[in-house]
Structure 1
Amino acid sequence: MKSGIHPEYREVCFLDLSTGSKIIISSTAQTRETIKLDDGREVPLYKVETSAESHPFYTGQQKSVDTLGGRVEKFRQKFAKATGKA
């Protein structure tokens, strides 16, 4: 293998925001936050909206999560004002 062209992997904790589950795997993901684990280690933290713990395909349950924070409703209100339709 060529030297110097492969990324450096490190342990990263992926936190599912909808369920609170943590998955620790090797990754090259860039993070700004860290988390202290139960065993005392401090690893980089990467927050995700959906993982295998919360995705409907894997869980078999349909769950509606409004991750847009009302952006669609804000757009509809703005569009109604612009066209004069209330």
Structure 2
Amino acid sequence: MKSTIHPVFRPVVFHDTSVDRYFKIGSTIKTERTIDFQGEILPYVALDISSASHPHYTGRQQAVAREGGAARFRQRYGRLVAGE
């Protein structure tokens, strides 16, 4: 494996700012920011959303999204299709 063409894989701290949760994950992302996390100085990346705050993973999806497109169509245009 050529050492000059591959990015450096290292532990990085990702911070989901919407729920104030930190994740230490191996990554090749480039960042100049660092953070003292559990006694180690590690690269730091701030995120707006992650699995800790995304509605799909947390189960906080809206009821409309669960109904699907056909139910929304019937709700909007059902009276027109029925001939009223």
Aligned to 2:10: 10
Looking at secondary structure, tell me which structure has more helix per residue. 2
Letter paired with 2:12: V
Residue 61 of structure 1 deviates from its aligned partner by: 1.1
- Which has more radius of gyration? 2
Count of equivalent residues? 62
SS in 1 for 2:57: helix
SS in 2 for 1:45: strand
TM-score, normalized by length of structure 2? Answer: 0.65
Aligned-partner Cα distance in 2 for 1:33–1:51 = 19
Letter paired with 1:44: P
Aligned to 2:81: none
Cα 1:61–1:43 shift into 2, 3 Å: same
Structure 1 spans left out of the alignment, 5+ residues: 64-86
Aligned-partner Cα distance in 2 for 1:10–1:33 = 14
TM-score, normalized by length of structure 1? Answer: 0.64
Aligned-partner Cα distance in 2 for 1:46–1:14 = 5
Name the % identity. Answer: 44
Aligned to 1:58: 57
Structure 2 spans left out of the alignment, 5+ residues: 63-84
Superposition RMSD in Å: 1.6
Cα 1:58–1:41 shift into 2, 3 Å: same
